[in-house]
Structure 1
């Protein structure tokens, strides 16, 4: 672990199908290859010449990592940036990610510029000359500005996709992320939107390729895997947190989706 900032150019923190939460920010800069990332209710493809930020205390998982993936990563905590002579509200604004969209944007012709900033940061942290942490803070701020610039640029062309079906699907996925442990049937969500369960299922299926129930179950499964791997809660306690009536019902649900019981999964993923 690190104290306030760390840089790496390997695949650290990108283990496949391992739901986790971090207590720090992660900036990803992809040079080549690809990986699929789920974070919160968003899912996106990390691909070349793109930049992404994973927020702390938000569950995420990685899958479909290509063999040629080359990604540089910066890990840092908010207190690290707060030690710089910049107004705190500016730092807060830079770290405030737009929750309406996946936290990934293409850098286009700015990629080489951002890449050089990553490499400069790496040199500062490796050489550790005088004031290297102060300079590193400034470099991270610069990179965050580049991320926010890419965000603004990409979102200019995003509104064209904001049709009614897209909006409904987005609101549904957002609500699933908030209520998955208590609203476990499509009827709850359909009633919230004032539409039929059939219509909600048809819209979500057309927009995502998955049924509404699959999305609910995927979110439940993701949280289940996180609790089993990263906590010492009993199976009964996990079942209660996730809204299952009993440990046996939770075990049947988990095994039907993973072919392993919760106990077996925990043993295989210490």
Structure 2
């Protein structure tokens, strides 16, 4: 098995600015020992949108995408949606959830620090922690919040179809909305249109594929429905400032 010890880290940090999110990783900051406990979520390969501030007793956790992809698809989708759906990338916690998370984090930290740390135990503890956050987030969505539910459904469709479907029309039809209305909802809640979100998701995944180096650039162009390698390269460079070949060489 590939060495996993560099793919998950848990630390107690005094200052938020000390936290640096690694490549191809999700990040979590747990502010649990404050009057109003919360979790700050940092999506895959995205910069946090919170302002740096000084807070004591901050647990910082980051883990690579592979930790969730080894499990079932539904769980992986829920984790991806957890990081996408949380408004302003923050979850304000109740006391019970905060206490539960603190207990899980302590178990996880003890296992990570153990001289005979077990990969399966660590992965299971991470899964329990994320499932607690997913359950809390879903419970926080009010039944009458129709727009939030539509966004959740859109993000699920996005994860299943982003390689081959980029038009707002495809997703709007699945959600029984007009393309204009879908884009209005997404723009209001997530700051981007359907096509922009699809393209962003494609770029994130293409970067990951290039880092893994399991596929050629030609194969990736075919996977993402481009009619030529040059068209694929122009698309990638437009969004990253680098050609796929340059990006792959630097990994």
Tell me the TM-score normalised to structure 2 length: 0.64
2:184 equivalent among 202, 211, 215: 202
Q: 1:220 aligns with which of 202, 221, 246?
A: 202
SS at match of 1:160: coil
Partner of 1:257: 239
1:102 counterpart = 2:78: no
When the two chains are superposed, the root-mean-square deviation of aligned CA atoms in Å is: 4.5
Go from structure 1 to structure 2 and tell me whether the alpha carbon gap of 1:268 and 1:170 turns closer, same or farther (over 3 Å shift). same
SS in 2 for 1:46: strand
What is the total number of aligned residue pairs between the two structures? 218
Conservation of the 8 A alpha-carbon contact between 1:173 and 1:215: no
Residue equivalent to 2:60: 71
Question: What is the aligned partner in structure 1 of residue 154 from structure 2?
Answer: 172
Q: Are the counterparts in 1 of residues 77 and 159 from structure 2 also a CA contact under 8 Å?
A: no
Counterpart of 2:35 in structure 1 is none
1:15-44, CA deviations, whole angstroms, 9 ceiling, x for partnerless residues? xxxxxxxxxxx6x756443677999xxx98
Shift of residue 152 of structure 1?
A: 4.6
User: What's the secondary structure of 1:47's corresponding residue?
Assistant: strand
What are the ranges of 5 or more consecutive residues in structure 2 without an aligned counterpart?
A: 33-37
SS at match of 2:225: coil
* Contact 2:210–2:244 under 8 Å retained in 1: yes
Alignment partner, residue 211 of structure 2: 229
Question: 1:154-169 alignment to 2 at 5 Å?
Answer: 155-156=138-139, 158-160=140-142, 163-169=145-151
Partner of 1:61: 44
Unaligned runs of 5+ in 1: 14-25, 53-59, 79-91
Instruction: Please give the secondary structure, in 2, of the residue aligned with 1:244.
Output: coil
- Between stretches 195-204 and 185-194, larger displacement belongs to 185-194
Shift of the 174–203 alpha-carbon distance from structure 1 to 2, 3 Å rule, reads same
8 A Cα contact 1:228 1:266, kept in partner? yes
In structure 2, the CA distance between the partners of 1:267 and 1:122, relative to structure 1 (3 Å rule), is: closer
Deviation at 1:174, TM superposition (A): 1.3
> Against the structure 1 CA distance between its residues 29 and 237, is the aligned structure 2 distance closer, same or farther, given a 3 Å change threshold?
same
Change (3 A) 1:159 1:247: same
Match of 2:193 in 1: 211
Match of 2:229 in 1: 247
Counterpart-to-counterpart distance in 1, 2:230 and 2:122:
52
Q: 1:114 aligns with which of 88, 104, 115?
A: 104
Measure how far apart 1:207 and its partner are: 1.2
